[in-house]
């Protein structure tokens, strides 16, 4: 069992102020796989003080120094990609092979993508008699979720490091083990004491103390829209910068000239990636009414080809959801879809293959879904796909935009130009055209209630910079 007894504060592993503990549960078998400390306000005070002190020098450090340390971290993360994947598989439940490739691989990619970004901070702009420069925003508080235990951390930590910010990280209590391992790698790289600090604990105490702390200049949260509203309200008390990467109910729009079977098959399989626990998941499939049956058959076949199993079971392609609470939530949504009158194509509320141990959910497809149904409007965060028919291209776009969210989307067409035209009409932060791959160097974030700001790549640096005009 992975037991952690200390926090990483000021470049040292220090004892927590309290004695409370958090048990980490392996979702594949419901057994305890780790224990970490549960912090309190005093721990937050210590971590923020360390970050504030470190900012005095780190915030003035040369870009070359920051770049060199990020390069060292990239090498460390790359060399330990297997270990990262194993930890994510253990505490999240993603099948090992996928976990190494996705959770480990994305972590490697994001960290490596920031090696040269610090030099962006040294670029200046001359506007008339003004010199416009960039400076780091200061001390940052990071609150990260459980669905991508490393990726969601480095998406915040890396641009902050590149900018010259210091930080306090509070990872999810469901998946803190990967965060602890990342802290060990940070320590091995020799970052100045206090630049990066790690504490664990409940959001309602530790998280809220971070959000309201007067010495925190920016709060960045990835989580639910409800959590985002709470963080924004708390941060407003001290008028600090806020970055929010929140929920989604993203649509995959299949136009009438597309290969419907291909698009629907991909949708039926991709909704099972990470057990559907992906904020940008394409959980709505919008198809021409005349081809609804073809789409349903393809999505059904794809979902039923998924092999559900424990993270370390041979051949498993989809693991459990992350926790009992999450399983119960997903099952409630499936029952809601049935009650609302959607057609249950495959899956359902019972565990797959009689698995009564572990937090398993069947890959589930609904057809004949109406836009006013709960399963068409609310984020389920599980392997559940809603297929919605339409009668015209204009209606398809209207359905896609009929959401409080705007994080991701997709368009399929036999004509790339037509697909691009439709993609520009969808009110989301990113859209994939005809299967365009996710790009870790491109800005990621949402419209509407999917959040505020952008992460990843050079654009991710913007959140962590202040712009200063010097009049000459």
**DSSP codes joined into one string, 168-212:** EEE--SSS-HHHHHHHHHHHHHTPPTTSEEE----IIIIIHHHHH
pLDDT, residue 354, reads 81
pLDDT in tens, 177-203: 999 999 999 999 999 999 999 999 999
Active-site residue identified among 165, 211, 279, 455: 279
**How confident is the model at residue 315, as a pLDDT?**
95
Give yes or no for residue 353 having a pLDDT over 90: no
365-398: burial string, b at 16+ Cβ within 10 Å, e else: bbbbbebebebbebbbbbbbbbbbbbeebeebbe
Helix axes 63-79 and 81-92, enclosed angle (nearest 10): 70
Question: What does the pLDDT look like over 397-438, one tens digit per residue?
Answer: 999 999 999 999 999 999 999 999 999 999 999 999 999 999
- Determine which one of 91, 245, 455, 463 is catalytic: 245
Q: From residue 71, how far is each of 77, 133, 286 by CA, in Å? A: 10, 25, 43
Identify the CA nearest to 242 among candidates 233, 250, 253, 254: 233
Q: Give per-residue burial for 21-30: e unless 16+ CB within 10 Å, then b.
A: ebebbbbbee
Q: Is residue 281's pLDDT more than 90?
A: yes
Q: Is residue 388 predicted with pLDDT exceeding 90? A: yes
| DSSP code, position 455 | B
The distance from CA 388 to its chain's CA centroid, rounded to whole angstroms, is 26
Those residues with Cβ within 8 angstroms of residue 303's Cβ, 6 or more apart along the chain or in another chain: 268, 269, 271, 272, 346, 347, 363, 364, 365, 383, 385
Q: Is 135 a catalytic residue?
A: no
- Nearest to 444, CA basis, from 460, 465, 432: 460
- Alpha-carbon distance of 456 to 443, in angstroms, equals 5
The predicted model gives 268-272 an average pLDDT of: 98
- Where helices occur in 208-367 by DSSP H, the ranges are 208-212, 225-236, 260-270, 292-304, 324-340
Q: Average per-residue pLDDT in the chain?
A: 97
Residue pLDDT, tens place only, 149-168? 999 999 999 999 999 999 99
How many CA atoms lie less than 13 Å away from 116 in the CB half-sphere?
2
| pLDDT higher than 90, residue 43 | yes
Residue 279 annotated to the active site: yes
pLDDT (tens digit per residue) in 240-267? 999 999 999 999 999 999 999 999 999 9
Q: Is the pLDDT of residue 360 over 90?
A: yes
Mean pLDDT, range 286-315, rounded to an integer: 97
Sheet (strand 250-254) strand order: 343-346, 364-367, 384-390, 282-288, 250-254, 409-412, 432-433
Please enumerate, as own/partner, the contacts of 422-426 that have beta carbons within 8 Å and a separation of 24 or more.
422/253, 422/255, 422/393, 422/396, 422/397, 425/397, 425/401, 426/251, 426/253, 426/397, 426/400, 426/401
Pairing of strands 125-127, 31-37: unpaired
Mean local confidence (pLDDT), 46-74: 98
Instruction: Give pTM, 2 decimals.
Output: 0.96
Q: Over the stretch 67-114, which tens digit does the pLDDT of each residue have?
A: 999 999 999 999 999 999 999 999 999 999 999 999 999 999 999 999
pLDDT at 274: 97
Fold of the domain spanning 2-246+450-471: Aldehyde Dehydrogenase; Chain A, domain 1 (3.40.605)
pLDDT > 90? residue 310: yes
Instruction: Determine what percent of the chain is predicted with pLDDT higher than 70.
Output: 100
CATH of 250-439, one of 3.40.309.10, 2.60.120.380, 3.20.20.70, 3.40.50.1370: 3.40.309.10
Residues of the chain with CATH 3.40.309.10: 250-439
- Indicate where the chain has its CATH 3.40.605.10 domain(s): 2-246+450-471
Q: Quickly state the pLDDT bin for 318 (edges 50, 70, 90).
A: very high
Q: What mean pLDDT is predicted for residues 10-22?
A: 97
Q: Residue 355: how many CB atoms within 10 A of its CB?
A: 17
Q: Collect all residues with Cβ–Cβ distance below 8 Å to 406 and sequence separation of at least 6.
A: 248, 427, 428, 429, 446, 447, 448, 449, 450
């Amino acid at each position: 069992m992975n037991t952690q007894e200390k926090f990483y504060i000021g470049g040292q592993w220090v004892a927590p102020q309290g004695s409370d503990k958090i048990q980490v549960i392996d979702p594949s078998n419901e057994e305890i796989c780790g224990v970490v400390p549960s912090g309190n306000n005093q721990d937050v005070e210590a971590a923020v003080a360390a970050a504030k002190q470190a900012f005095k020098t780190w915030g003035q450090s040369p870009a070359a120094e920051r770049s060199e340390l990020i390069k060292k971290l990239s090498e460390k993360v790359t060399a330990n990609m297997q270990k990262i994947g194993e930890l994510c598989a253990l505490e999240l439940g993603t099948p090992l092979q996928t976990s190494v490739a996705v959770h480990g691989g994305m972590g490697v990619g994001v960290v490596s993508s920031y090696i040269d970004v610090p030099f962006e901070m040294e670029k200046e702009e001359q506007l008339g008699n003004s010199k416009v420069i960039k400076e780091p925003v200061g001390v940052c508080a990071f609150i990260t979720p459980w669905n991508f235990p490393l990726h969601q951390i480095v998406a915040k930590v890396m641009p902050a490091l590149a900018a010259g910010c210091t930080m306090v990280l509070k990872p999810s209590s469901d998946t803190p083990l990967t965060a602890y391992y990342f802290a060990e790698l940070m320590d091995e790289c020799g970052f100045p004491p206090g630049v990066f600090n790690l504490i664990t604990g409940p959001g309602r105490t530790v998280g809220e103390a971070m959000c309201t702390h007067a010495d925190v200049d920016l709060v960045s949260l990835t989580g639910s829209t409800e959590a985002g509203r709470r963080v924004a309200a708390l941060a407003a008390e001290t008028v600090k910068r806020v970055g929010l990467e929140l929920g989604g109910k993203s649509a995959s729009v299949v136009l009438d000239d597309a290969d419907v079977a291909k698009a629907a098959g991909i949708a039926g399989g991709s909704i099972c990636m990470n057990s559907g626990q992906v904020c940008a998941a394409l959980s709505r499939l919008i198809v021409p009414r005349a081809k609804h049956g073809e789409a349903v058959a393809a999505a059904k076949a794809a979902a039923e080809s998924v092999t559900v199993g424990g993270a370390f079971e041979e051949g498993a392609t989809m693991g459990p959801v992350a926790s009992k609470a999450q399983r119960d939530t997903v099952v409630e949504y499936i029952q809601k879809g049935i009650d609302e009158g959607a057609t249950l194509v495959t899956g359902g509320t019972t565990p797959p293959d009689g698995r009564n141990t572990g937090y398993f959910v069947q890959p589930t497809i609904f057809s004949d879904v109406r836009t006013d149904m709960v399963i068409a409007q609310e984020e389920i965060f599980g392997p559940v796909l809603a297929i919605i028919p339409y009668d015209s291209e204009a209606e398809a776009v209207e359905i896609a935009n009929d959401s409080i969210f705007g994080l991701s989307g997709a368009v399929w067409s036999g004509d790339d130009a037509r697909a691009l035209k439709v993609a520009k009409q969808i009110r989301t932060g990113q859209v994939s055209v005809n299967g365009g791959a996710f790009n870790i160097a491109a800005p990621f974030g949402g419209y509407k209630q999917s959040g505020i700001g952008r992460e990843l790549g050079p654009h991710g640096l913007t959140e962590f910079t202040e712009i200063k005009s010097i009049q000459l």
